[in-house]
A and B are shown apart, each in its own frame.
Chain A
Amino acid sequence: MNELLESLTRCVERGKVNSKSPYPPDLKGQDGADEFARKAIDAGIPPQEILSNGLIIGMQRVGERFRNKEIFVPDVLMAAKAMAAAMGHLKPFFQSDILKHKGTIVIGTVLGDLHDIGKKLVSMVIEGAGWEVVDLGTDVSPEKFLKAVDEHPGCVVGLSALLTTTMVNMESTVKHVKAKHPNVKVIIGGAPVTEEFALKIGADGYSSDPQGAVEFLNSRCTPN
């Protein structure tokens, strides 16, 4: 595989943002995701390859290692930062439609719940997998979810909740959205949520961690 792409993968995996970043210490002074993305573009590597064969692979490894408890939230945040630095260079290609997201997920914490961080983390890893994320924030009503689905035809919906008392509002959200858009897929997650609960309320997927959400999106929510 192309050396520049391999470097990009490694930078995302290790959370190496740019040459000025002192983290991780063993890569101090070396180029980061920022520089390698620029170099890859300048070298004429197609943006789609930079994204798919460089960045996304790095983020996938991060998601897997987080799931296996080999790395933890701060490591994921550094990886997401490195990913974002590289994505900055790819932005123009998204704007000119040369690059396309795999799809869109509208995500939010359900009505009555104000927990934000778990959902933010999931969003970052999903974004790192090549999906567009529309984050509606916290305490999101079923009506607000529906409105966002109206505005993003073909999107997937992600729901988060951290307490059993707010988890029940996932059911009304699923019902409300599916009444109008029966084909919209919904994935749910959060500490008290289980696979069994997801099935019971008519959601299409559940994951206890961000990588599971990516796997659900890639396998169940893409046209091909």
Chain B
Amino acid sequence: MPESSSLDVVMFSPSAEALGVDRDLVVADLGYRNGEAPDMVWELVDDLLPQLPAHVEIRCGFRILPSGSIDVGDDSFTANGMQFSTGPIIASQLKRSTSLALFVSTVGLQMERWSAQLMAEGDMMKGFLVDALASEVVERASVWLEQRVVDHIAPRGWKITNRYSPGYCDWAVSEQQKLFSLLPHQFCGITLTASSLMVPIKSLSGIIGLGPDVKRGAFQCSICDLKDCYRRRDDPGPAKEKA
């Protein structure tokens, strides 16, 4: 059961199974197209997937800001009197939002320790695949969390925009400092370093616009400016959107 508080903050610890980690997506994110990865890669991924539950400590959660507490401009928004310079791309997607969900998700420290340990033992391949799995799990956790936001605000008649994270589309990574200042201390066990790096590494932070008149926009890659990203997708296919 989620933990709640008067701040309209909710936290979850879903299991790896609940997130539905998809082997096809893990392998596709390594760069292979049409499933054309070496058998060995498939075998190792299939071998590692069932070991996930023993290593992940998935935690994710959000805070819903009070209705009417945000003001969206052309290239920024203001929440709780704090200005966030998202740049025009994200600001335009947030237009019509009357509130925001601030979210984080993490797979925990255990996964990076596992990966590092495998590499230290000389098994670079497994260590690398564990790292890739961890990236996939944290993205799945964020997708899963999005649905929890939808459920949470549905009774208010609100809908959601896409997720947006500091560090994407002209929104500086350092603005995570402001974002975290609006969340409970060490929310979901995540700390932010002076250089705005989240620890554990396999963590994501961001916002989702909320309101009666918002809608989910185009697929994420199409608005991102990292044009030669090796994970760029033209078409996500059904239910396979990536952050």
> A residues touching B (Cβ–Cβ < 8 Å)?
22-25, 69, 72-75, 77-78, 80-81, 111-117, 120, 124, 163-166, 169, 191, 208
**Measured CA separation A22–B43 after assembly (Å):** 12
B124 within 8 A of A: yes
Q: Say which one of B31-39, B59-67, B136-144, B178-186 lies at the interface with A.
A: B31-39
Interface contact B124-A75, CB-CB below 8 Å: no
Interface contact B167-A164, CB-CB below 8 Å: yes
> B residues touching A (Cβ–Cβ < 8 Å)?
30-32, 37-41, 116, 119, 124-125, 128-129, 131, 167, 172-174, 193-197, 199, 201, 226, 228, 230
10 A-B Cβ contacts within 8 A? A72-B31, A73-B31, A73-B128, A75-B38, A114-B197, A163-B167, A164-B173, A165-B173, A166-B197, A208-B228
Interface contact A74-B41, CB-CB below 8 Å: yes
Most buried by A among B174, B197, B226: B197
**Measured CA separation A165–B172 after assembly (Å):** 8
Chain A min CB distance to B174 (Å): 5
- Chain A residues in 8 Å Cβ range of B193: 112
Interface contact B230-A69, CB-CB below 8 Å: yes
Q: Which residue of A lies closest to B196 (CB)?
A: A165
A69-B31, A80-B124, A163-B173 are known contacts. Are A74 and B38 too (CB-CB below 8 A)? yes
**Measured CA separation A156–B31 after assembly (Å):** 30
Chain A min CB distance to B197 (Å): 6
**Measured CA separation A78–B30 after assembly (Å):** 14
Interface contact A74-B129, CB-CB below 8 Å: yes
- Chain B residues in 8 Å Cβ range of A166: 195, 197
**Measured CA separation A114–B194 after assembly (Å):** 13
Q: Which residue of B lies closest to A121 (CB)?
A: B128
A69-B230, A74-B125, A120-B124 are known contacts. Are A112 and B197 too (CB-CB below 8 A)? yes
Interface contact B31-A165, CB-CB below 8 Å: no
Q: Which residue of B lies closest to A111 (CB)?
A: B195
Chain A min CB distance to B111 (Å): 13
**Measured CA separation A165–B230 after assembly (Å):** 21
Interface contact A74-B197, CB-CB below 8 Å: no
- Chain B residues in 8 Å Cβ range of A23: 38-40
Most buried by A among B32, B128, B167: B128
Most buried by A among B31, B39, B226: B31
Interface contact A165-B128, CB-CB below 8 Å: no
**Measured CA separation A78–B38 after assembly (Å):** 11
Chain A min CB distance to B38 (Å): 7
Contact of B37 among A69, A74, A124 (CB under 8 A): A74
**Measured CA separation A63–B119 after assembly (Å):** 21
- Chain B residues in 8 Å Cβ range of A120: 119, 124
Interface contact B195-A74, CB-CB below 8 Å: no
Interface contact A74-B128, CB-CB below 8 Å: yes
